[in-house]
Each structure stands twice: as structure tokens, then as C-alpha cells.
Amino acid sequence: MSLKKVLVVDDNQDAMNIMTSILKIAGYSVITAKDGLEAMHKIQRENPALILLDVTMPEMDGFAVCESVKRNPKFSHIPIFMISANTDPASRKRGLQAGAHDFITKPINPAETLRKIRELAD
């Protein structure tokens, strides 16, 4: 069985490293992007099984990336988990309206996040 590919998108290198480590230990293949524009290129090139997408990033924020992915019939099936330090209900609502499957607040709970990923990526 080939490893499921997960795209981690975050402009914070520490956050990206933590998520990458958690996913690799759990047996996933991980690709990364540091901003929304890079994420769009990686999605087209790599066709990941799932996307972990930070909300606040330079160039193109997570909401715009999510909306763009969900508008594209070739990629609209890919589950997206938006990750944000914003805990306000309006941010969560906006993420879900953009097409995210879930909205996870930082700091993440690794076990809970992995459980959610396994439900959609496996």
C-alpha cells in the first residue's frame, strides 16, 4: 500500500515541522508549502489525499486557497482541514463556508487531529 500524501500549508516553520513530524510518524507521506500560492502549485502537481491549511498566510490566505480548491472539479474532492490560532466563531464559520471539512484551532491536539485525518485520508 502506498503512503497517503498529505499537504501541510503553513508560513510558520515551527508549526509546519510539528505537523510534518506527527504525520510522518503516523505513516503519511508529507509535502509542504509555505504560502497559499505555493500550495496551489503543489496541489496541482501532487494531488494530495488531504490538505492541512493554515488560515493566515502571505500571498494568498487559507480561505482563498480553500475556495479555489473547492471550485476546481479536479480537486474539489480533497478534504481540507483549516488550522488557525483564531478561535472566534466567525473564522470557523468562514472556513466551513469556504468548503473546509473541519476547522482546527491552534495549539492543535495531535491525537485528535490524527484521528480526524485518518477518518478522511485513509
Cell of 102: 473541519
What is the DSSP-derived secondary structure letter of residue 15? H
Q: What is the pLDDT along the chain (122 residues), one digit of tens a residue?
A: 356 999 999 999 999 999 999 999 999 999 999 999 999 999 999 999 999 999 999 889 999 999 999 999 999 999 999 999 989 999 999 999 999 999 999 899 999 999 999 988 76
Using alpha carbons, select from 65, 43, 47, 53 the residue that is nearest to residue 9: 53
CATH number (domain holding residue 44): 3.40.50.2300
Sign of CA pseudo-dihedral 44, 48, 51, 52: negative
Contact 86, 55 (CB under 8 A): yes
53: three-class secondary structure by DSSP: strand
Vertex 37, ends 32 and 43: CA angle to 5°?
55
Q: How many domains does the chain have?
A: 1
CA distances from 42 to 1, 31, 51, 91 (A): 22, 8, 11, 25
Domain extent, residue 51, equals: 5-121
Position 102 scores a pLDDT of 95
Position 2 scores a pLDDT of 52
